Structure 1
Amino acid sequence: MISVIICSANAEDLSLVRKNISETIGVTHEIIAIENSHAKRGICEVYNEGTKKAAYDILCFMHEDVQIRTNDWGKTVLNIFSEDAETGVLGVAGGGYKSLSPSGWYQFEFHSEERSYQNVLQGFKLDEKDEIHAYHNPKNENLSSVVCVDGLWFCTRKSIALKYPFDAKTLKGFHGYDIDFCLSVFQEYKVKVTFDILMKHASEGNFNKLWLDEILKLHRKWSKVLPLTTSDVSDREFYFTEKRCLKKLIEQMLRWDYSFYQIHRMIMNTAKSRVRKKLYFKAYLHLLKLKLNIIPLPSRS
């Protein structure tokens, strides 16, 4: 039995996803749709309300612009959680490396095949692109361990969601909640991606300055424990990955007109981690060179 929790912003999308869930889930379920079309509340607050209302032990948090293509997917979810008591979060897209540098769940600069695990039909609303099948299964598994998952769809136990509630105090908008929740749960449980459930996500997400503002808050909270990985990564690879990440982030923050102090604060945050302090100095030197026009700001890639 599964409680499906949705933060709803569009009545038409909600009607479609209700029908889709009922036709495909294959197990006893309830749908807890909380109307939030005017965005008066952040998604963390809404999801915490849904958790408290849920009648069943397994919760599924999902976006309403998702269409699940796999029949009886609820049985797959229940089997995964029943077979391993240490499973805490289950998604369909996730990252095996969560960088110290502020980022989403997927870190492009991590030069490893294990940087992402996903099986999603990805649609596009912001860009005129054709739908793609984002399939990346580096270990050829049905179920892979990751650090965090994408919030488009993920499941957990109600007991876990009550123990590690969504951080509505830090994250008041609609970004970063998925990573934050996973980092909390990762301390005690396994976070996994299944390749046995396929769904289409109609939108690609808007990774803009508003998104980055929330991600910066998230990383101030978790900097002391990052980076995290489920892979066997050397200290050397950690260092060079983070250096690449920080340089690109500094450049993007300058393009988005963040102040010198804001970028300085972000870099200082890296000094709290277990990564070598040399990383901090390299990042700060890159910022100074850009601000003093010693090197040009690269064009958008």
Structure 2
Amino acid sequence: MRILVTGAAGFIGSHYVRTLLDDGYPGCEGAEVTVVDKLTYAGSTANLPMDHPRLTFVVGDICDGPMLARVMAGHEAVVHFAAESHVDRSIDGPLAFMRTNVEGTQSVLTAAKAAGVRTVVHVSTDEVYGSIGTGRWTEAEPVAPNSPYAASKAASDLVALAYWRTHGLDVRITRCSNNYGPYQHVEKLIPRFVTNLLSGEPVPLYGEGVNVREWLHVDDHCRAVHLVLTNGRAGEVYNVGGGTELSNKEMTARLLDLCGADWRMVRHVEDRLGHDLRYAIDDSKIRSELGYAPRWSFDDGLSGVVRWYRENPGWWKPLLRTTR
């Protein structure tokens, strides 16, 4: 099987590719993998086994249609991770998000259709649903994004579904809760707080830290994505949750404890513009239809992540200049 993976030099895509090349997904042993990645600030070849004999790496922009047309030929499946993903950056510079996330997805789908690709999995986010006070969003809820990032992902979801309805392209969408794990860029909450604390620097907590997120280990997320690729249904959306819901203040407390620090290392900063109060998704569909269930307990996963950053300063210290 030949699988093309976009954005796989980044955090989630690289985990998926490393596991795929390690034959970690039953039924896809021996798969040949092509990665297309622009290598922006959030992507690095250090995240991938570049000398693996079954890996082909192409430096390229997913908005480059002719390049994608050349590379896409001969692949049976596409897993589309490539995206601009940091909400703060989308507030300061939304145009890049609209280009990559919307135009880029259009380009990927166009190339997949022309190449006769069998299945495309479009990886999205729970942020497209907006904020919810109580209860949980199901896949049947309309999208109601509140940030430029979330709006660009919601738009890309609708483009993907349009290719299924109009052209019959087998497109499947996943919408995940907040991911965490090794190799995550230091601009995101958990790695930023961990690397700050390991460096003896205070951590910036938005407002009073009351915003609530559900946390999902990257390994569980990637297993869910692969389940959707191999067993999902065309034209369907699948929520993927981790089952652990924490306020940012509660998350901060856990990270302080794991890093041997206290609340004197916390600095309350002005809240993010339009900061969604709570995300929460109902992922019973992927559990009942595809047999998905998280394998990682949050306590084990989080302590493992802190340990990884503690043991790999050579990976994250060069990234600090992109965020601080």
When the two structures are superposed, what TM-score results if normalisation uses the length of structure 2? 0.26
When the two structures are superposed, what TM-score results if normalisation uses the length of structure 1? 0.28
Q: Flag the structure with higher helix content.
A: 2
